[in-house]
Structure 1
Amino acid sequence: MLFDDASAEFHGFFERHYAELSRLAALLTGDPDAADDLAADALLALWRRWDRLRAAEQRLAYARGVVAELARARIRRSVRERRRITLFRSTRSARIEGPDAAAAVDVRTALAWLPFRKRVCVVLRHAFDLSERDTALALGVSVGTVRSRTSKGTAELERMLGARVAGALVTGRGSR
């Protein structure tokens, strides 16, 4: 198959970064089955803008930001759908005040309990080893915002998982 320069360049970008973007989506949504779709949707959005993006230095940062926004939208849709189902199935409201201690041992489950903005900062900083600057660039926020959200998110993980397990996550010794 013949590719023009733009197509070949995008194909190379896709090959190099698809797996990483899929992993990011899986960690943000907690749904590995949807991760490939989100990564593909993000790359499709990039392809549509490739003529403008191919000259940009921060294409990967932009792609990470697109994945984060798509994951956020998916989570919101999922939450709205769960609320609708709950309204139809039950007249009583059963609220869970905190995570189940057994479930909190699983890092992915604990990440799912974090508010999305903190979760995306913790995942990009610690699971993907991005600098504060690169994380800020991917999310379109300031470095100070990344510091704050990462710090608060890590503190929440420590409360849910215990300092030893959360410390292992942050230093890369835990399961991801």
Structure 2
Amino acid sequence: MLAMVRTATERDSFAAVFNAHHRQAVRLAYLLTSDPHQAEDIVADAFTKVYVRWQKGEVRDVGAYLRRAVANEANSKLRRRYLERREAAKRSGDDRGVRLVDDVAADHDVVWQAIQRLPDRQRQAVVLRYYEDLTEAETAEILGCSVGTVKSQVSRGLARMQELLSASGLAASTEGGVS
């Protein structure tokens, strides 16, 4: 009986976690894939993985763990989608299509690798500001620092990304995006 009560309480607790994080997780997945249906699938898979780890007591920061799980799932789906498009282009004999798919996928991978190479605080600030589309104040609250610190971390992160992307042959625009 005690086990059933504990299980029900755990489910209720995780339902609260789900309700608190679902919308942001879907938005992040959509930003990474540009596909609303795929974003929902990614988030469902990510929440399943988080729940399994959460039950074992292996998750301390659910939000951070969920964002990482969403990013990993999105990368897997994007990789699969890239391979499917590449195969379709090969079957159709459209060499230009294969090159274009390769170029777009390579650009996405290079940008994501540049983000991953940033120091933790810079990476967190850049992702929250530009991937999660949070304000500087919201980012500061989540990171537990001042707005000024967020501004400097984002500025340094974008400058470092520009260096990394320039070294890889991608030109960065003055607005901080990739062109």
TM-score range, shorter chain: 0.5 to 0.7
What TM-score do the two structures reach when normalised by structure 1?
0.61
For residues 106-165 of structure 1, the C-alpha deviation after alignment (integer angstroms, 9 at most, x for no partner) is xxxxx958633346754334343457x96xxxxxxxxxxxx7688316986x956x42xx
Q: Which residue of 2 aligns with 1:151?
A: 160
Q: Which residue of 1 aligns with 2:13?
A: 9
1:117–1:80 distance in 2 versus 1, CA, 3 Å: same
Structure of greater relative contact order (alpha carbons < 8 Å, 6+ residues apart): 1
For the Cα contact (< 8 Å) 2:26–2:40, is it kept in 1? yes
* 1:123 correspondence with 2:127: yes
1:26–1:93 distance in 2 versus 1, CA, 3 Å: same
* Structure whose alpha-carbon radius of gyration is higher: 2
For the Cα contact (< 8 Å) 1:114–1:153, is it kept in 2? no
What TM-score do the two structures reach when normalised by structure 2?
0.60
Q: How many residues align?
A: 139
Q: Which residue of 1 aligns with 2:53?
A: 49
Q: Can you give the 5+ residue segments of structure 1 that lack an aligned partner in the other structure?
A: 100-110, 135-146, 170-176
For residue 8 of structure 1, give the secondary structure of its aligned residue in structure 2: helix
Q: Tell me the distance in 2 between the aligned counterparts of 1:150 and 1:62.
A: 27
* 1:86 correspondence with 2:95: no
Say what the alpha-carbon RMSD is for the aligned residues: 3.9
* 1:61 correspondence with 2:64: yes
For the Cα contact (< 8 Å) 2:89–2:95, is it kept in 1? no
For the Cα contact (< 8 Å) 2:29–2:42, is it kept in 1? yes
For residue 49 of structure 1, give the secondary structure of its aligned residue in structure 2: helix
For residues 27-75 of structure 1, the C-alpha deviation after alignment (integer angstroms, 9 at most, x for no partner) is 111222211111111111112222224x743121111111010001011
For residues 60-114 of structure 1, the C-alpha deviation after alignment (integer angstroms, 9 at most, x for no partner) is 1111111010001011101111111011001534534978xxxxxxxxxxx9586
- Which has the larger share of helix? 2
Equivalent runs, 1:64-79 vs 2, <5 Å: 64-79=67-82
